[in-house]
């Protein structure tokens, strides 16, 4: 039975928009929701017609109190709910953990001789944005295709103008060299407009315009110019033939979902200019109503600078469709429609997204089952005391004792758990002493407060042979952790040459166990060995990446500190923004000038100095 005070509170709820906060017996907020009618929504959880699913009943059994905040409109309730979820991070609200970085192509038409660039965020700065693309490689593929078709400039304008002759891209036909005056501003503008039409899917209009240009140049006996437009036209037509038009134009996102208990798998299709350009899957945990879960996903997904299309197509109705569409319209700057198509091509796309979500969940289950088999094999072959559901691996990277770092990577259920990856700057060890450095890393990883917060692994892997294993075992024993997890080392394969053999041979990778002199040799290319090697290689990569970052940090400091007008504050700001001298060199003058504390003159001094240009 519900506590009477809670029953009374639910009975007296007003039928107005607002936000409700559910609390457990400890007073902690475990769920935040919003409603068009607080009375109707909250009663739906507890009344006779309440959701009968076990997960919902389980959540409601934990609720001992409910607070409410009234709002004037449903839109205000939506905004307040988002704020409270971010503030309290309730256990039972949907948490979108999307570690995928989305990239878009940016072009500023107001810039002199505009060019395309890759960006992660989409601010309202007057520029044009195209995408998103699910990875940097996908975005760069599109960019390379554009550059072959539309020879726009590749480099920052200041860098281009500093050259005395056109760059290599001009020689291979991928840059029209506007900085050297080899194309008129009007013709360059036509190329820019053509590239934007192509990305918008307006190919018929683009082809018609380029045909007109080609015929006009031919009539004026400008045969070289006519040939250029002809070549552009051919490359566009070849590319268009490979694309499949799925709608009659416009940008839209299409969402499908599949549910299994508290697991919610989502598939999101990106349709740009009527062409299906990509998709993305999300695997979430959700306890409550499907429509509420979809609504929560949409609010979180579009909240962080993601491209907002003109239309969003869903497989079901959501209660807050109108206020959510209003919020997205404000973010986009023009009307956004959220629809549930019932027939036609758009409905077919929604059904296809649903099938993809179901297939993704099945594939995830199959991978999980396979992973468990591999972990069981690993436990048997290495005589581990426990199933290695969580494996940690540690590596050291240094060059003659300089910039010494350690890395710790975590694999959960055979897959990287990157939120638990850790980097360690070696502080206590001078010179080249890998064992002492490993001891410092272990002492920091396994100190009491870290163990209490992050828990203990089932298996720890150390990169190296029997010497590294014995050193690690001694460290673990000194920390009082012996027997609390398994410990092994993995030695890389090495080149061996028999005195009677003509060719060098590669030895097997070997696993060393505590108390055993001879290594365990797992079958080469077997799944357990490949898993161990993948963990070891990831730890090595992560350590090398941090080591290079530190070296790059020193490089950027030494590279800019000699420039007049660049003091410690500006140097620190540049270092924080770009991270390395190489990244700073690749930036445009405008990007350097946008750094906090930089003036235009100081940015020009940095840019000229880094590119060897005399003022």
Domain residue extents for the chain: 4-88, 252-361, 390-525, 561-610
| Beta-sheet strands, E only, within 88-210 | 103-107, 117-119, 128-133
Percentage helix, strand, coil, to 5, in the chain? 45, 20, 35
CATH of 561-610, picked from 1.10.645.10, 2.40.10.220, 3.30.300.30, 1.10.150.20, is: 1.10.150.20
Per-residue burial over 67-104, b if 16 or more Cβ lie within 10 Å, else e, is ebbebeebbbbbbbbbebbeeeebebbbeeeeeeebbb
The C-alpha atoms of residue 295 and residue 297 are separated, in whole angstroms, by: 5
Which numeric CATH code is attached to 4-88? 3.40.1440.10
456 contacts 429 by C-beta, under 8 angstroms: no
Token representation of residue 249: 């134009």
List all residues 6 or more positions away from 229 whose beta carbon is below 8 Å from its beta carbon. Answer: 210, 213, 214, 217
What CATH superfamily classification does 390-525 receive?
Answer: UvrC, RNAse H endonuclease domain (3.30.420.340)
Q: For the chain, list residues with pLDDT below 50.
A: 1, 99, 239-243, 613-615
Intrachain domains 252-361 and 561-610 with the same fold: no
Long-range contacts of 607-615 (CB under 8 A, 24+ apart): 607/156, 607/158, 607/159, 609/560, 609/563, 610/559, 610/560, 610/581, 610/584, 610/585, 611/159, 611/162, 611/585, 613/162
DSSP H or E segment with residue 278 = strand 275-285
What CATH superfamily classification does 252-361 receive?
Answer: UvrC, RNAse H endonuclease domain (3.30.420.340)
Nearest to 2 by CA among 54, 43, 37: 43
Question: Which pLDDT score is estimated for 613?
Answer: 45
The C-alpha atoms of residue 412 and residue 420 are separated, in whole angstroms, by: 10
DSSP H or E segment with residue 67 = strand 65-70
Token representation of residue 484: 């609390």
Nearest to 127 by CA among 109, 141, 115, 142: 109
User: How, if at all, do strands 103-107 and 128-133 pair?
Assistant: antiparallel
Helix (H, G, I), strand (E, B) or coil at 107: strand
List all residues 6 or more positions away from 220 whose beta carbon is below 8 Å from its beta carbon. Answer: none
Question: Which pLDDT score is estimated for 388?
Answer: 93
Question: Which pLDDT score is estimated for 99?
Answer: 47
């Amino acid at each position: 039975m519900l506590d009477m005070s809670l029953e009374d509170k639910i009975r007296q709820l007003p039928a107005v928009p607002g936000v409700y906060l559910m609390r457990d017996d400890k007073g902690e907020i475990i769920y935040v929701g919003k409603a068009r009618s607080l009375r109707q929504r909250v009663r739906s959880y507890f009344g006779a017609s309440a959701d009968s699913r076990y997960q919902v009943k389980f959540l409601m059994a934990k609720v001992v109190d409910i607070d409410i905040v009234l709002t004037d409109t449903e839109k205000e309730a939506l905004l307040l709910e988002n704020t409270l979820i971010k503030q309290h991070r309730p256990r039972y609200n949907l948490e979108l953990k999307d570690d995928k970085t989305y990239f878009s192509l940016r072009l500023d038409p107001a810039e002199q001789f505009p060019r395309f660039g890759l960006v992660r965020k989409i601010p309202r700065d007057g520029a044009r944005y195209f995408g998103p693309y699910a990875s940097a490689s996908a975005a760069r593929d599109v960019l390379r295709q554009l550059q072959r078709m539309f020879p726009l400039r590749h480099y920052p304008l200041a860098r281009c103008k500093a050259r005395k002759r056109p760059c290599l891209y001009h020689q291979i036909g991928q840059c029209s060299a506007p900085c050297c005056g080899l194309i008129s501003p009007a013709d360059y503008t036509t190329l820019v407009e053509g590239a934007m039409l192509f990305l918008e899917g307006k190919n018929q209009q683009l082809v018609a315009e380029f045909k007109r240009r080609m015929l006009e140049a031919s009539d004026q006996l400008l045969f070289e110019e006519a040939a250029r437009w002809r070549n552009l036209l051919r490359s566009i037509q070849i590319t268009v033939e490979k694309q499949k038009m799925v709608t009659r134009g416009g940008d839209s996102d299409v969402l499908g979902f599949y549910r299994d208990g508290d697991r919610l798998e989502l598939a999101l299709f990106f349709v740009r200019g009527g062409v299906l350009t990509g998709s993305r899957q999300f695997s979430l945990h959700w306890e409550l109503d499907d429509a509420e879960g979809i609504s929560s996903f949409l609010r979180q997904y579009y909240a962080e600078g993601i491209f907002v299309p003109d239309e969003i197509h869903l497989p079901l109705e959501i209660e807050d469709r109108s206020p959510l569409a209003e919020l997205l319209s404000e973010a986009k700057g023009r009307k956004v429609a959220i629809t549930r198509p019932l027939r036609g091509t758009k409905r077919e796309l929604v059904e296809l997204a649903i099938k993809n979500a179901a297939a993704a969940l099945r594939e995830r289950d199959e991978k999980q089952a396979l992973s468990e088999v591999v972990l069981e094999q690993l436990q048997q072959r290495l005589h581990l005391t426990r199933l290695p559901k969580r494996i940690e691996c540690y590596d050291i990277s240094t060059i003659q004792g300089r910039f010494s770092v350690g890395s710790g990577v975590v694999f959960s259920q055979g897959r990287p758990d990157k939120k638990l990856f850790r980097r360690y700057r070696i502080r206590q060890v001078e010179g080249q002493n890998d064992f002492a450095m490993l001891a410092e890393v272990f002492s920091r990883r396994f100190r009491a407060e870290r163990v209490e917060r992050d828990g203990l692994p089932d298996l720890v892997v150390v990169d190296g042979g029997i010497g590294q294993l014995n050193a690690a075992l001694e460290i673990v024993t000194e920390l009082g952790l012996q027997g609390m997890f398994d410990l092994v080392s993995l030695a890389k394969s090495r080149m061996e040459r028999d005195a009677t053999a003509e060719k060098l041979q590669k030895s097997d990778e070997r696993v060393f166990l505590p108390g055993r002199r001879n290594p365990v040799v797992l079958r080469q290319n077997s799944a357990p060995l490949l898993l161990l090697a993948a963990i070891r290689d990831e730890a090595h990569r992560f350590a090398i990446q941090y080591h290079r970052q530190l070296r790059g940090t020193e490089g950027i400091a030494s590279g800019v500190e000699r420039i007049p007008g660049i003091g410690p504050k500006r140097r620190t700001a540049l270092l924080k923004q770009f991270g390395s001298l190489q990244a700073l060199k690749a930036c445009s003058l405008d990007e350097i000038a946008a750094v906090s504390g930089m003036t235009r003159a100081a940015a020009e001094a940095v840019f000229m100095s880094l590119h060897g240009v005399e003022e």
